[in-house]
Amino acid sequence: MCHQIHQQVVHESAFKKTSQKQGLFALLLIVLEWTRPGLPSPLRPICDLRVLNHFIKEARDAESAMRSCREGCSLSESVTVPQTRVDFDIWEKKNALDQAQEVQSGLWLLHQALSSLRASVTNTALHSHLDNSIRNLLSINAVLRSLNIQEYTPPASVVAGDETWQVSSATDLLQVYVNFLRGKVRLLLLDAQACHQDVS
């Protein structure tokens, strides 16, 4: 009897995990579909943080692969990246538009920096990680569009300021990428008004 109960619990747990993975996979397919050029914003907001968690995991995988790389995996020049440290007192005093613009500006800088890294890396084992990271940045922008966040218009030129800094190491760049997703991007998604409209 105990053995049967144990088997049932194991089967239910496995089924639940499979269902969760299938749900996340379906959600990721939807997000990826919306990154295609010319497509309108999705009809419903994407508020499931599992999507962001998936992107963070893949960013960490890229960082780990870069740390183990010994040849053909360096930046050809320094790149500008966003600051990842969050002063919560300052962050909470900003309005939603300013928060969104700060995150979108950071995502744009990371896209430029990762594209530069991809062009300079000759280690083919890293290419898939970097290509995936760049695609994921586009997917995150699709998630932001689903939350009715206005599309970001990049500046004509990058000007160094308090919210940016320079890195010359590929591992430093990928660490910034991970921390930016874990910090400011997550905060923006958690506070997105579109995800709280139906909450009474």
Give residue 22's pLDDT: 58
The Cα 17–Cα 30 span in angstroms is 20
Contact 144, 97 (CB under 8 A): no
Give residue 44's pLDDT: 65
Give residue 152's pLDDT: 82
Flag whether the pTM goes above 0.85: no
CA 95 to chain centre: 22
Give residue 194's pLDDT: 83
Q: Which residues of 143-181 are buried (b: 16+ CB within 10 A; e: fewer)?
A: bbbbbebeebeeeeeeeeeeeeeebeebbbbbbbbbbbb
The Cα 28–Cα 180 span in angstroms is 20
Give residue 50's pLDDT: 87
- Which residue is it, tokens 């020049």? 77
The Cα 18–Cα 10 span in angstroms is 12
CATH of domain 49-195: 1.20.1250.10
Amino acid at 167: V
The Cα 108–Cα 88 span in angstroms is 22
pLDDT tens-place values along the chain, 200 residues long: 544 444 544 444 443 445 455 555 555 555 555 555 555 555 467 788 888 999 999 999 999 999 999 888 999 999 999 999 999 999 999 999 999 999 999 999 999 999 999 999 999 989 999 999 999 999 898 888 888 888 788 777 666 666 899 999 999 999 999 999 999 999 999 988 888 765 44
Is residue 82 packed enough to be buried (19+ CB in 10 Å), middle (13-18) or exposed (0-12)?
A: buried
Give residue 199's pLDDT: 46
